[in-house]
Amino acid sequence: MKILVIWRLLTVGGVNAGWRNRAVYFKKHGIETEFLYTTDHGGAHIMQDVSTIYLTKDTEEIIAIIKKNRYDAIIVVDTKDAFKWIRKAKFKGPVIVEARTPELLKLTPHLANFRGVHPETIIVPSYYQKRLVSILSDNIPIQVIYNGLDTTFFRPLTQEEIDMEKIPIQPHGKKIIGWIGRVDKRKNWPMLIEIAKKIKKERDDIEIWLIGGAQSVQREEFAKKRETENLADIIKWFPVIPYQQMPHVYAKIRISGGCTLATTKCESFGNTFIESMSCGVPVVAADIMPMNELVKNDQTGVLFADQKVEEAVKSIYQILDDEKKQQKMSSNSIEHVQKNFSIQQVADQYVELLKSLDIKKQEGDRND
């Protein structure tokens, strides 16, 4: 079986990280996955050695790709133009829609008009996202399939396995808070600034690692604010860390006695949460969906009242100042991800869906 995933953004974010894991797992089940993107945001290395990637905005080229490869199914991720390409290519196979944008206003254009294409189902990565999509679609089935994680890759590395020579370099005598993702409004970096200011006033044994943001639209605004607030000594910024190095980053955070922090206002899922927990790093995040779908409060991390800086800081201190608690949360986190979010647990649902659609397609071909 051969499928095509169409998404407009070749990013380093959770959508591509999740699809990377699926593509690897699908291959073991005889499903070949190819990807079509229209805009490059530096995410090619995520798919390195995993799948064929097409990167083009040219309509005729896209139509030729669809026709030439004779895909068994096409999956469209938040790309409204894809339905026009599918129709023009006269693709007759099943089409699945994935709705990943967690903001109603931005999601609406991608679900408003399927241009004569009739999707079989809409896949969403959380029950929060199902609620959102149900507002926009009432006649297509909506199915929740969590993002799956390769827990043999994202795992708690031993001290001997950790690459201590690569950046970020482990600071001596400091506990690390990891903040991972784009530097934009939704990820809410201004709240990170306020948290860093409060921590800096109160203690000197904590360092914050901001991982990512090399191509974020607000990177210059963030950089300026970090400097004017004199936070460069507490917020260490690493705009580009290769995906393959992330287990080592999480390992350094774990052995420091630290945690990861999310100040995000909304997410459709939250890949970095399960990556962090799978590597034994507890998560501090707002007590809103879908964060509270993923993080078990006081077991795999701490959930704080949304947008409350003081409560977020107290939640961080709960973990950093109690070594036994941090270690217990670490072991709970690993078990939680393996049980609920490992690729074996969740990708099987997708495999079953694709194979059922393939059987329907074959029956339709015979009837034709």
Question: What CATH architecture does domain 175-340 belong to?
Answer: 3-Layer(aba) Sandwich (3.40)
Tokens of 230: 């004199």
Region(s) of the chain under CATH 3.40.50.2000? 2-148+342-367, 175-340
12, 47, 18: which is closest to 238 by C-alpha? Answer: 12
Which residue from 26, 25, 327 is spatially nearest to 151, judged by alpha carbons? Answer: 25
Looking at domain 2-148+342-367, which CATH architecture does it have?
3-Layer(aba) Sandwich (3.40)
Comparing 243 with 284, the larger pLDDT belongs to: 284
End-to-end CA, the chain? 20
pLDDT (0 to 100) of residue 367: 52
- Asked whether the beta carbons of 250 and 271 are under 8 A apart, the reply is no
Measured CA to CA, the distance from residue 301 to residue 46 in angstroms comes to 27
Query: How confident is the prediction for the chain on average, in pLDDT?
Result: 93
Q: How far apart are CA 73 and CA 355, in angstroms?
A: 10
321 confidence band (pLDDT: 50, 70, 90):
very high
pLDDT-based confidence at residue 364 (cuts at 50, 70, 90): low
pLDDT per residue as tens digits for the range 110-132: 999 999 999 999 999 999 999 99
Return the minimum-mean-pLDDT range out of 13-27, 64-78, 80-94: 13-27
Give yes or no for a contact between 20 and 5, defined as CB atoms under 8 angstroms apart.
no
Beta bridge partners of 37: 55
**DSSP string computed for 211-226:** E--TT-TTHHHHHHHH
| Cα–Cα dist 271/169, whole Å | 24
Phi/psi for 58 (5° steps) reads -75, 115
Structure tokens at 171: 């600071």
